[in-house]
Chain A
Amino acid sequence: MPRRIRGRAWVVGDHVDTDVIIPARYLTTSDPVELARHVLEDLDPTLKSRIQPGDILVAGDNFGCGSSREHAPIALKAAGIACVVARSFARIFYRNAVNVGLPVVQCKQGVPVASERVVVVDFDAGTVTDEATGAVYPAEPLPEVMREILEAGGLVPYVARRLEEQRRHAAASA
């Protein structure tokens, strides 16, 4: 997981829900490439063609509210979104993002930048910086367990390691 992400911001509003991130009509697949093709299209049909790999989504309150569909963070990640910064996240989305290895940063006071400005997310310092103005915004630290999952590369490798340990214990005690 990168310690620092520098990218171009796309600013979206409050309560961006999972239905507009990836509409249900595309949920007969879980192929990331296919999902990325339709990312955010019900929010703004022009956005997906403007997103470049490494861009950062800067949102308001309650980002990712609604459905439990993990397809939402998968689609954002596959579209090249490097990180989502929001004033607050819906709980299921936040957890899903960490599980699939999409970095998420909560800045309670918000990050008032304009779209296409460059922002820098520094995970070690716990800050988000607006490069043009130099303004620095504090980020909430991730809970320990989520940091471990993100650092392992997502929940799959994290659980794989635990299952492997269980097998070793079982073999040793047999």
Chain B
Amino acid sequence: MGMTLVEKILADHSGRREVRAGDIVSARVDMILANDVTAPLSIREFRKMGATRVFDPEAIAMVPSHFAPSPSIQAAAQIQAMREFSREQGLPYFFEIGRMGIEHVLLPEEGLVVPGDVVIGADSHTCTNGALGAFATGMGSTDIAAAMALGETWLRVPETLRIVYYGAMKPWVTPKDLILYTIGKIGVAGALYQALEYTGETVRSISMEGRFTMANMAIEAGAKTGIFEADEVTLAWEEGRARRPPRVYRGDPDATYAGTVEIDVRQVQPQVAFPHLPEKTRPVSEAASMDLRIDQAFIGSCTNGRLEDLRLAARVLRGRKVHPDVRLIVIPASQRVYRQALAEGLLDVFVEAGGAVSTPTCGPCLGAHMGVLARGERAISSSNRNFRGRMGHRESEVYLASPAVVAASAVLGRIASPEELGLDETAFFETVGVRAS
């Protein structure tokens, strides 16, 4: 009997010929990451374990991205703790402010995660790396501390739920809309304890950036990881980037799956997730008819702060102004994205429209800083979570959507579709490249 993609990776990393869903394995880890919220706790627990040296300094990345650049003395102390630990342990991958990015965007960009890896991170969105055909999952600080000491971690091999996408995406439908639609269909606990594997003819035409967005939100369906099989798109993207040789694994045709969900992409409209769960999705046309006035629009985060996202948002905003009652915040997810957006004139478009642009940070997405919501405020965001109080006051509201919908909403002052601005499909396909049906 064959193995799934995830089973293959975990078998190889645990020195076994074969593993099955439900098995508990001890797997070697290729990359471990932690941020300024979770690393200080990891460091403390690492010391409590009596550990003195990390198993391999090159396999550990420390990224201060959440409360960074630090908005308070306490936050500064957390970054200081990870900076000092990185120096003490000789970690080459501590990313200082100004050379930093949101961890799940930065690490793949830097070629620190490659296809076939096992990656664990003290952040739930570590599953983003599954876009590369790696097994990547989030854990807590103590698990990360143990892995930093031992170089391995215990894992229950998950069942795999396959999501098969077919058909071509309609104009203004992005990979973000596909994943929101999928979560709306299966629910926030729809893949609990499982791996989501994204497959089908449509995914071959989705860029790496779009795949990162989809893998990123696997956790919002309760999944342990979200994974794509590495293909020519993946390997082309890794050219000149991968710091280790990629290993391409493929699931066997006779592998056992927990189930298969088929999604006809042609039926999918741009989506909006309503408060306070990512599964509360509705088509943008329905949301737009409800006259939902917004106070803030946010484009950024590890979900949608990549170059493709900024290009799309800029296409919508070019020559337009942000609604007088709205604050638009745009945050490129990494320094590399920032510089490229600068070179392409995208940042100019945002500033010209009346938006605020910041250095990379996770800040607004988790209500840390740089855009915290007051009581009664409503935001539309390109991020991944709209839990109660996520971006600020418990009586504020977060709606999730693609960067195109967020940008259009910023202009109109209410949740809206780009088509309401008279933007036709040419504007969309110009930005996303050749993907017309």
Please determine whether B44 and A96 come into contact, CB atoms closer than 8 angstroms: no
Can you give 24 contacting A-B residue pairs, CB < 8 Å? A15-B189, A19-B389, A20-B389, A24-B66, A24-B367, A25-B367, A27-B67, A28-B67, A29-B74, A30-B40, A41-B394, A45-B394, A62-B189, A66-B385, A68-B38, A69-B37, A70-B41, A90-B222, A91-B192, A143-B156, A155-B45, A159-B49, A163-B149, A164-B50
Asked if B143 contacts A99 (CB within 8 A), the reply is: yes
Q: Answer whether A68 and B74 are a contact pair too, CB < 8 Å, given A15-B189, A42-B388, A159-B149.
A: no
**Binding-face segment, B134-142, B285-293, B345-353, B422-430:** B134-142
Q: How far is the CA of A70 from the CA of B188 in the complex (A)?
A: 20
Q: How large is the interface on B (under 10, 10 to 19, 20 to 34, 35 or more residues)?
A: 35 or more
* Inter-subunit contact B368/A95 (CB<8 Å): no
Q: Which of A87-101 contact B (CB under 8 A)?
A: 88, 90-92, 95-96, 99-100
In the A-B complex, the 8 residue pairs with the closest CB atoms: A70-B140, A96-B140, A28-B74, A42-B389, A62-B189, A24-B366, A42-B394, A68-B138
B196 to chain A, nearest CB (A): 13
Chain A CB within 8 A of B75 CB: yes
Contact A61 B140 (CB under 8 A): no
| Distance in angstroms between the alpha carbons of A50 and B72 in the assembled complex | 31
Q: Mark B34-58, 1 if CB is under 8 A from A, else 0.
A: 0001101100110011110000000
Q: How far is the CB of B182 from chain A (nearest CB, A)?
A: 16
- Report the minimum CB–CB distance from A91 to chain B (whole Å): 6
Q: What's the Cα separation between A39 and B214 when bound, in Å? A: 31
Q: Is the CB of A88 within 8 A of B48?
A: no
Asked if residues B41 and A30 are in contact (CB atoms below 8 Å), the reply is yes
Assess whether A68 is in contact with B387, with CB atoms less than 8 Å apart: no
Residues of A2-20 at the interface with B, using a CB-CB cut-off of 8 Å, are 14-15, 17, 19-20
Could you tell me the distance in whole angstroms from the C-beta of B192 to the nearest C-beta in chain A?
A: 6
CB-CB under 8 A from B37, the residues of chain A are: 24, 27, 69, 71
Is the pair A67, B189 in contact by a Cβ cutoff of 8 Å? no
Assembly CA distance A100 to B146 (angstroms): 13
11 extra interchain contacts, Cβ-Cβ under 8 A, other than A24-B366, A65-B188, A156-B49? Answer: A19-B390, A28-B72, A30-B41, A42-B394, A62-B188, A66-B385, A68-B121, A91-B222, A92-B124, A155-B146, A163-B49
Q: Does B154 contact A (CB under 8 A)?
A: yes
Taking CB atoms, residues of chain B closer than 8 Å to A61 are: 189
Given that A23-B389, A24-B366, A28-B67 are known contacts, is A95 also in contact with B143, CB under 8 Å in the complex?
Answer: yes
Question: A28-B78, A144-B24, A159-B150 given as contacts; is B38 within 8 A of A69 (CB)?
Answer: yes
Q: Report chain B residues within 8 Å CB of A96.
A: 139-140, 142-143
Q: Does A103 contact B (CB under 8 A)?
A: no
User: Which B residues lie at the A interface, using CB under 8 A?
Assistant: 24, 37-38, 40-41, 44-45, 48-51, 66-67, 72, 74-75, 77-78, 121-124, 126, 138-143, 145-146, 149-150, 154, 156, 188-189, 192-193, 219, 222, 224, 277, 366-368, 372, 385, 387-390, 394
Question: Knowing A23-B367, A25-B368, A145-B24 touch, does A92 contact B138 (C-beta < 8 A)?
Answer: yes
Instruction: Compute how far the CA of A56 lies from the CA of B66 in the bound complex, rounded to whole angstroms.
Output: 32
Contact A99 B385, beta carbon cutoff 8 Å: no
The smallest beta-carbon distance between B276 and chain A, in angstroms, is 9
- Distance, CA A28 to CA B142, complexed state (A): 17
A67 and B124 contacting across the interface, CB-CB below 8 Å: yes
- Residues 69-116 (chain A) with a chain B CB within 8 angstroms: 69-71, 73, 88, 90-92, 95-96, 99-100
B222 near A20 with CB under 8 A, answer no
A19-B389, A62-B192 known; A91 and B366 CB under 8 Å? no
Q: Inside 8 A of A160's CB, which chain B residues have their CB?
A: 48-50
Most chain B C-beta atoms within 10 Å of own C-beta, residue among A28, A71, A99: A28
Interface members, chain A 141-160 (any B CB < 8 Å): 143-145, 154-156, 159-160
**Residue A43, interface by CB 8 Å:** yes
- The residue that B140 contacts in the complex, of A14, A92, A162, with Cβ under 8 A, is A92
Contact with B along A37-48 (1 / 0, CB 8 A): 000011101000
A73 neighbours in B (Cβ, 8 Å): 140
- Chain A residue contacts of B150, Cβ below 8 A: 159, 162-163
Contact (Cβ within 8 A) B50 A66: no
- Contacts A66-B124, A91-B224, A92-B140 given; indicate if A24 touches B146 (C-beta within 8 A): no
Check A17 against B387 for contact (C-beta < 8 Å).
Answer: yes
Known: A15-B277, A24-B366, A90-B222. A156 touches B156 (CB 8 A): no
Chain A residues with Cβ below 8 Å from B77 are 28
- Which residue of the partner chain B has the closest CB to A70? B140
Q: How far is the CA of A64 from the CA of B24 in the complex (A)?
A: 22
A69 touches B140 (CB 8 A): yes
**Alpha-carbon distance A67/B277, docked complex (angstroms):** 14
User: Closest Cβ of chain A: how far from B55's Cβ, in Å?
Assistant: 11
CB <8 Å contact, B123 and A70: no
Q: Are A155 and B388 in contact (CB under 8 A)?
A: no
- Asked if residues B387 and A20 are in contact (CB atoms below 8 Å), the reply is yes
Task: Give Cα distance in the complex from A42 to B275, angstroms.
Answer: 14
